[in-house]
A and B are shown apart, each in its own frame.
Chain A
Amino acid sequence: MSLALEKPAPRVSSGSPMRRFSNLLYRKPNLYLALLLIPPLIWFGAIYLGSLLGLLWQGFYTFDDFTMAVTPDLTLANFAALFNPANFDIIVRTLTMAIAVSIASAALAFPIAYYMARYTTGKTKAFFYIAVMMPMWASYIVKAYAWTLLLAKGGVAQWFVQVLHLEPVLQFLLGIPGVGGSTLSTSHLGRFLVFVYIWLPFMILPIQASLERLPPSLLHASADLGATPRQTFMQVILPLSVPGIAAGSIFTFSLTLGDFIVPQLVGPPGYFIGGMVYAQQGAIGNMPMAAAFTLVPIVLIAIYLSIVKRLGAFDAL
């Protein structure tokens, strides 16, 4: 190949500088690729990763409680403080919610995604896509506020429970420590419901995409080899949709870990990680502590991803 290139080829057209430039790009595909990639790499590297690393670096700075001043003296005190009972509580609370929300979203999303992928075509499929995505068009804050009203004392949710005569059930659920609260809108349960509602589309779409890629002949092959529908589901459909469930749960898990608005509007008092970061860097001005808290979701998601990978979720990709 290089031989052919070194031989002085007959010049078909020396042409304009633009022509020579495009010829150069054609002959050197690596240069072409570099020119295309450098701008997004600069954006991603400097602005995105750079600022994140800059933020985490500040986690090593010292915050003076008396003067409220930040000095660039490096210390591990902020990270050690994450393990104070008060701070550790926040982390556990957020993590528990993120796990619960991810599991519930997956359980709710799977049948919807399965129906969309396997039983709808044409207009019905378009309808489902719009139905799933439409809630995402509305402002997130508006939806969260709407839920505070829906779940409030005397709100729609409570009326609905009354009509169905399920008040004892609701009272029982609200009485469970760690789940309940005085009303739905101030309970962990209410907060959980709002989270599941808001993040559900992020779970439906990746599962739907993974089921869409499943060739129908695999299901036929399974039945042909003697598998009952239940066996086909457990042995073929579920394992092959795990990448979709994993992708969706990465959304629901990380979005719940970082959220600071829903916990503020719905549910009992007590910070989530996001709220704590917001409070530390805003009202308190303790940027190093906020930076230390920022590290928590990153580490948790890294751990989560490695568990998911170890379970073989990405093998079928």
Chain B
Amino acid sequence: MTLAVQFTQVSRLFGEVKAVDRVSIDIQDGEFFSMLGPSGSGKTTCLRLIAGFEQPSAGSIRIHGAEAAGLPPYQRDVNTVFQDYALFPHMSVLDNVAYGLKVKGVGKQERHARAEEALSMVALGGYGSRKPVQLSGGQRQRVALARALVNRPRVLLLDEPLGALDLKLREQMQTELKKLQRQLGITFIFVTHDQTEALSMSDRVAVFNRGRIEQVDTPRNLYMKPATTFVAEFVGTSNVLRGDLAGQLSGSAQPFSIRPEHIRLGDSAVSGQVQVSGVLHDIQYQGSATRYELKLDNGQLLNVSQANTQWQADAAQLQPGQRLAAHWAREAMTPLQETVLGEGR
């Protein structure tokens, strides 16, 4: 398996701030790889380092085996879909898409044919003569995608490209992007702060926090076996239990995470399960599930999520203020590495 992009101990400093701090990643060729993290976590800087808009302060970046540090963007075999699409407002849609071919000296006839082809690939055939301002957000997004893909890059970088779209369109684009990636077989590197987006599309996800990588794993492992307290809390909703309570329940002082949907309310009948009790604090009806907040005796809030699988209303209605037990399987607990805040600053 060849590596599409390889980061070895890459750092990028802005003055005193370490935007990227000794990051090493191996991204496989043909992989849909996501960089997930809150804003300011270094994921976008990593993308810009691959594109060449930023140069690393230290470390090595290899793109398909060749050292890229020091190369300007126009000498790299990668293309970017920008967050704000960055379409050229003075050019028609066709000229926008054909731009990359034009600056490389491809003849007019061939580049227009290839641009048309790229436009029809994103279902925008026949929109070539329009100006970007005449398109909707979703259409501009597709033009930006066609403009990047027409150059047949080996690596496509996507910088939160779906951020500006509404929910329905975003979900539709997620499916289409994934389909396109499989069809073309090129490496997609996708930056997002939306964890559902990262989980649903990617082969592997890197979770960023404060310029460092917390965990690189498949979506399933990231959710089921988070490595650190940060990953557990950032990817999905989780209950992170620490200290005395953790020791009491798991027999180890290490913090652990338990997902809300893995907890059952009520007394445990089965032995070997972990049981806690507390006062029901809040109930939120969310349609497919109901979410309960249980205030444990040590004051910590425990999130519990129960799927509403009964089509008839539950006979026993729970009320806030009620005393209640909750239990879960011992195997559902994932021991975590504590993320030390302030590290790397």
How far, in Å, is B15 (CB) from chain A's closest CB?
14
Q: Interface segment, B36-44, B86-94, B161-169, B187-195?
A: B86-94
In the complex, the answer to whether B151 meets A220 with C-beta atoms within 8 Å is no
In the complex, the answer to whether B82 meets A225 with C-beta atoms within 8 Å is no
User: Per-residue CB proximity of A216-237 to B under 8 Å, as 1/0?
Assistant: 0110111111111001000110
Asked if B345 is at the interface (CB within 8 A of a chain A CB), the reply is: no
Q: List 10 A-B contacts (CB under 8 A).
A: A221-B82, A223-B52, A223-B73, A224-B74, A225-B79, A225-B99, A225-B100, A225-B151, A239-B90, A240-B90
Chain A positions within 8 Å of B73 at CB level: 220, 223-224
Closest 7 CB pairs of A and B: A225-B100, A221-B86, A217-B86, A223-B73, A227-B103, A316-B90, A224-B80
Other A-B pairs, 7, CB within 8 Å; known A240-B89, A240-B90: A221-B86, A221-B88, A224-B79, A224-B80, A226-B103, A226-B151, A240-B88
How far, in Å, is A214 (CB) from chain B's closest CB?
10
Among B53, B89, B100, B102, which residue has its beta carbon within 8 angstroms of that of A220?
A: B53
User: Per-residue CB proximity of B145-186 to A under 8 Å, as 1/0?
Assistant: 001100100000000000000000000000000000000000
Q: Which B residues contact A (CB, under 8 angstroms)? A: 51-53, 72-74, 78-80, 82-84, 86-90, 99-100, 102-104, 147-148, 151
A226 to B111, CA, bound (A): 14
Q: Which A residues contact B (CB, under 8 angstroms)? A: 215, 217-218, 220-228, 231, 235-236, 239-240, 315-316
Chain A positions within 8 Å of B51 at CB level: 220, 224
A217 to B140, CA, bound (A): 15
Chain B positions within 8 Å of A228 at CB level: 74, 103
Chain B positions within 8 Å of A226 at CB level: 74, 100, 103-104, 151
Closest residue of chain B to A214 (Cβ to Cβ) is B89
Chain B positions within 8 Å of A240 at CB level: 88-90
Once A and B bind, how many residue pairs between them come within 8 Å at the CB atom? 67
Among B53, B84, B103, which residue has its beta carbon within 8 angstroms of that of A225?
A: B103
Interface centre among A223, A239, A315 (most CB of B within 10 A): A223
With A231-B103, A316-B89 in contact, is A220–B79 under 8 Å at CB?
no
Chain A positions within 8 Å of B52 at CB level: 223-224
Closest residue of chain B to A218 (Cβ to Cβ) is B86
A225 to B86, CA, bound (A): 12
A222 to B87, CA, bound (A): 9
Interface centre among A221, A231, A239, A316 (most CB of B within 10 A): A221
Closest residue of chain A to B144 (Cβ to Cβ) is A221
A213 to B37, CA, bound (A): 30
A240 to B151, CA, bound (A): 24
How far, in Å, is A250 (CB) from chain B's closest CB?
20
With A225-B99, A226-B151, A228-B74 in contact, is A220–B82 under 8 Å at CB?
yes
Among B53, B84, B90, which residue has its beta carbon within 8 angstroms of that of A215?
A: B84
Closest residue of chain B to A223 (Cβ to Cβ) is B73
Closest residue of chain B to A236 (Cβ to Cβ) is B88
How far, in Å, is A150 (CB) from chain B's closest CB?
41
A227 to B74, CA, bound (A): 6
In the complex, the answer to whether A215 meets B86 with C-beta atoms within 8 Å is yes
With A221-B80, A223-B72, A224-B79 in contact, is A315–B90 under 8 Å at CB?
yes
In the complex, the answer to whether B74 meets A223 with C-beta atoms within 8 Å is yes
A222 to B52, CA, bound (A): 12
How far, in Å, is A121 (CB) from chain B's closest CB?
14
How far, in Å, is B149 (CB) from chain A's closest CB?
11
Chain B positions within 8 Å of A221 at CB level: 80, 82, 86-88
A227 to B147, CA, bound (A): 13
In the complex, the answer to whether A225 meets B147 with C-beta atoms within 8 Å is yes
A235 to B305, CA, bound (A): 56
Chain A positions within 8 Å of B88 at CB level: 218, 221-222, 235-236, 240
A315 to B53, CA, bound (A): 29
In the complex, the answer to whether A217 meets B103 with C-beta atoms within 8 Å is no
Closest residue of chain B to A234 (Cβ to Cβ) is B103
Chain B positions within 8 Å of A217 at CB level: 82-84, 86
A166 to B96, CA, bound (A): 49
